[in-house]
Amino acid sequence: MKKVFGTIMALWLLGLSTNAQTFIPGNSYFGKDKYIQYIAGNTPIILSAPHGGYLVPSAFPDRNCDGCSYVSDAYTQELVNEIQQKFLLKTGCYPHLIINLLHRKKLDMNRDLVMATDSNAALDDYWADYHQFIDSAKAKVNRDYNKGLFIDVHGHGHVKQRIEFGYLVSKSTLLLPDSMINLPKYTNYTAIRSLAKSNLKNLSHSLLLRGDYSLGTMFENKGFPGVPSKLDPFPLAADDYFNGGYNTERHGSNTLGKIDAIQMELYSAIRFDSVQRKKFADSFVSVMIDYLGAHYFVNYGKSPCTLSNIEEENQRPKAIHFYPNPAKDHILLSNDEGLESYSLFNLQGQLIKNETKYKGDKAISLENVPSGWILIRFVVKGNILWERLIKE
Whether the pLDDT of residue 311 is over 50: the answer is no
pLDDT value of position 337: 79
Residue 223 CB contacts under 8 Å (≥ 6 apart), including other chains: 283
For residues 365 and 382, give the distance between their C-alpha atoms in angstroms, rounded to a whole number.
Answer: 23
| 263, β-bridge pairs | 152, 166
Helix (H, G, I), strand (E, B) or coil at 303: coil
- Return the exposure string of 230-246: e unless at least 16 CB atoms fall within 10 Å of the residue's CB, then b: bebbbbeeeeebbbbbb
* Burial (0-12, 13-18, 19+ Cβ within 10 Å), 293: middle
Q: Which residues does 133 contact at the CB level (< 8 Å), separation at least 6?
A: 18, 29, 31, 36, 38, 98
**Is the separation of the CB atoms in 295 and 205 below 8 Å?**
no
Whether 39 and 84 have beta carbons less than 8 Å apart is answered as: yes
From the candidate CATH numbers 3.20.170, 3.40.630, 3.90.1530, 3.40.50, the one assigned to the domain spanning 2-302 = 3.40.630
Record: fold of 317-391: Immunoglobulin-like (2.60.40)
Q: Mean pLDDT for the chain?
A: 89
Q: How far apart (Å, rounded) are the C-alpha atoms in residues 61 and 56?
A: 9
Mean pLDDT in residue range 69-81: 97
The predicted pLDDT at position 204 comes to 98
Q: What is the pLDDT of residue 201?
A: 96
Confidence of residue 238 (pLDDT cuts 50, 70, 90): very high
With a cut of 90, say whether residue 359 has pLDDT above it.
Answer: no
CATH code 3.40.630 region(s) in the chain: 2-302
Q: CATH 2.60.40.3080 in the chain, residues?
A: 317-391
- Across residues 2-8, what is the average pLDDT? 44
Mean pLDDT of 332-343: 82
367: CB partners within 8 A, 6+ apart: 329
Confidence of residue 340 (pLDDT cuts 50, 70, 90): confident
Whether residue 383 has pLDDT greater than 80:
no
**Reduced to 3 states, what is the DSSP secondary structure of residue 154?**
strand
